């Protein structure tokens, strides 16, 4: 095909923070590249990006050498600079990770060691020192990580979209992808309104629907997205919490547990838990999508998770259905909180990739195929790490486009790294 026969060079599916960061990175590293983003919603960041706790993670939780660790450490600093440059709400607050039981102390010490391996400013605290930072929080011991903060991730994603269009790219909202046809020259993508977009390379950043989009492209993702809903409450007495307070995470799960988060607007949110969602966008128990639920139940890995972790899951469901049970869980960290202090807030759904054997994928997962790059697992800290993730996905996409016979100047000169 001639250059004019393509509608764009790189086509990104998904207008969350990772998809928009990828398109933004392409416009920065390979100027002149024609990039289009298709997003099925009427605006950016309507799902995982806009429905999380807004925390900019330090990287302390993540295994040294993992993509999560590398990108979170780099991304948190870059994100602070980006927010300062564009006037986006952001604050570096630090956070406490608090052990409330003796059995958690070895894991807390392990986090201290990991933080030091990463070069993070980590301070160990006793009960009296905890009270200096958080007078109403109780614990046997804690660590303070100074580089954690909060951010308006929806504003970041919106700014990415603005920068993309200012650089000549196109962001189309209300453009749900219904079909993908891969050809020797590239891909043709059809949207629900009948529009066909032809591109040299397709980037799949569809989040909750990333495995489905991979299959539409004719690729076997090797994973199934199993959605977990995280439910939040807003604290009626925000003066009880000064900053960010987390429990010691359970290493068996890629979830960080119910935490207390003072946002950039001064409000305090408590959550999330982790319960199975009955739809990919199942933000409440009444939200049921039979076909999507069947997709989850037909995946062997989902049953293996259920058999392996049914006690943990039952506890999460109980706390979802019982505000008093949720309150008791929060009181381990914040004894003064009462059931009346918790006001329901918007829930989020985590797109958790699960292998056939029931393994929860615990790192970012990016796979490639002819003319395609699939981002199949990008949970927290993906928003924190969005700038370096975007550059990495952009690098792979531009190399794929080069394989289709195009020579992006930035790739040829070695700038896209």
pLDDT of 312: 85
- Residue 72's pLDDT band, with cuts at 50, 70 and 90, is very high
How, if at all, do strands 244-247 and 177-183 pair?
unpaired
How far is residue 415's CA from residue 306's CA, in Å, rounded to a whole number? 46
Joined together, the tokens standing for residue 61 give 């939780």
The DSSP result for 289-344, as a single string, is -HHHHHHHHTSHHHHHHHHHSHHHHHHHHHHHH-HHHHHHHHHTT-TT--GGGEEE
Task: For residue 149, count CB atoms less than 10 angstroms from its CB and return exposed for 0-12, middle for 13-18, buried for 19 or more.
Answer: buried
pLDDT in tens, 150-196: 999 999 999 999 999 999 999 999 999 999 999 999 999 999 999 99
- Residue 404's pLDDT band, with cuts at 50, 70 and 90, is low
pLDDT of 416: 36
Q: Quick one: average pLDDT of 217-243?
A: 97
Q: Is the pLDDT of residue 329 over 70?
A: yes
- Residue 2's pLDDT band, with cuts at 50, 70 and 90, is low
Q: Is the pLDDT of residue 410 over 70?
A: no
How far is residue 139's CA from residue 132's CA, in Å, rounded to a whole number? 12
Q: Quick one: average pLDDT of 353-357?
A: 97
CA 61-64-70 angle, 5° bins? 85
pLDDT of 412: 40
Percent of the chain residues topping a pLDDT of 90: 88
Q: Are 83 and 252 in contact (CB under 8 A)?
A: no
What pTM, to 2 d.p., does this model score? 0.94
Q: Tokens 């946002």 identify what position?
A: 263
- Residue 85's pLDDT band, with cuts at 50, 70 and 90, is very high
- Residue 409's pLDDT band, with cuts at 50, 70 and 90, is low
CA-based end-to-end distance of the chain: 28
Among 35-44, 78-87, 128-137, 401-410, the range scoring the smallest mean pLDDT is 401-410
Q: Is the pLDDT of residue 413 over 50?
A: no
pLDDT of 206: 98
- Residue 279's pLDDT band, with cuts at 50, 70 and 90, is very high
Q: Are 172 and 39 in contact (CB under 8 A)?
A: yes
pLDDT of 415: 35
Among 242-256, 269-283, 301-315, the range scoring the smallest mean pLDDT is 242-256
Distances (CA, A) of 217 to 20, 213, 259, 401: 20, 6, 38, 16
How far is residue 227's CA from residue 244's CA, in Å, rounded to a whole number? 26
Q: Are 118 and 60 in contact (CB under 8 A)?
A: yes
Task: For residue 42, count CB atoms less than 10 angstroms from its CB and return exposed for 0-12, middle for 13-18, buried for 19 or more.
Answer: exposed
Q: Quick one: average pLDDT of 272-296?
A: 96
Q: Which long-range contacts does 305-311 make (Cβ < 8 Å, 24+ apart)?
A: 305/226, 305/354, 305/358, 305/360, 307/358, 308/358, 309/252, 309/253
Q: What is the mean pLDDT of the chain?
A: 93
């Amino acid at each position: 095909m001639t250059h004019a026969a393509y509608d764009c060079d790189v086509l990104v599916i998904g207008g969350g923070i990772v998809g928009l960061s990828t398109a933004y990175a392409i416009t920065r590293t390979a100027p002149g590249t024609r990039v289009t983003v298709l997003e099925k919603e009427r605006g950016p960041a309507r799902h995982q990006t806009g429905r999380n706790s807004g925390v900019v993670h330090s990287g302390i939780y993540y295994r040294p050498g993992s993509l999560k660790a590398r990108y979170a450490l780099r991304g948190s600093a870059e994100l602070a600079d980006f927010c300062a440059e564009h006037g986006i709400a952001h604050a570096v607050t630090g956070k406490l990770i608090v052990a409330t039981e003796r059995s958690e102390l070895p894991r807390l010490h392990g986090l201290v060691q990991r933080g030091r391996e990463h070069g993070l400013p980590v301070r160990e605290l006793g009960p009296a020192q905890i009270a200096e930072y958080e007078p109403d929080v109780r614990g046997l011991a804690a660590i303070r990580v100074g580089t954690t903060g909060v951010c308006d991730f929806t504003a970041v994603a919106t700014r990415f979209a603005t920068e993309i269009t200012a650089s000549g790219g196109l962001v189309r909202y209300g453009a749900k992808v219904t079909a993908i046809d891969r050809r020797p020259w590239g891909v043709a993508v059809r949207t629900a309104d009948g529009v066909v977009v032809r591109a040299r390379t397709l980037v799949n950043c569809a989040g909750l629907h990333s495995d489905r989009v991979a299959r539409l492209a004719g690729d076997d993702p090797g994973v199934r997205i199993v959605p977990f809903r995280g439910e939040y409450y807003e604290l009626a007495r925000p003066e009880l919490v000064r900053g960010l307070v987390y429990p010691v995470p359970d290493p068996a799960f890629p979830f960080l547990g119910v935490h207390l988060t003072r946002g950039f607007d001064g409000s305090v949110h408590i959550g999330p838990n982790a319960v199975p969602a009955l739809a990919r966008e199942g933000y409440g128990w009444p939200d049921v999508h039979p076909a999507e639920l069947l997709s989850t139940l037909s995946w062997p890995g989902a049953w293996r998770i259920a058999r392996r972790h049914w006690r943990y899951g039952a506890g999460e469901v109980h706390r979802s259905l019982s505000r008093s049970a949720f309150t008791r869980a929060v009181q381990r960290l914040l004894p003064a909180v009462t059931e009346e202090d918790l006001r329901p807030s918007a829930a989020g759904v985590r797109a958790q990739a699960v292998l056939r054997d029931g393994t929860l994928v615990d790192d970012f997962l990016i796979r490639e195929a002819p003319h395609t790059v699939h981002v199949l697992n990008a949970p927290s800290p993906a928003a924190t790490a969005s700038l370096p993730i975007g550059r990495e996905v952009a690098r792979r996409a531009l190399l794929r486009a080069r394989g289709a016979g195009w020579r992006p100047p930035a790739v040829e000169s070695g700038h896209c790294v």
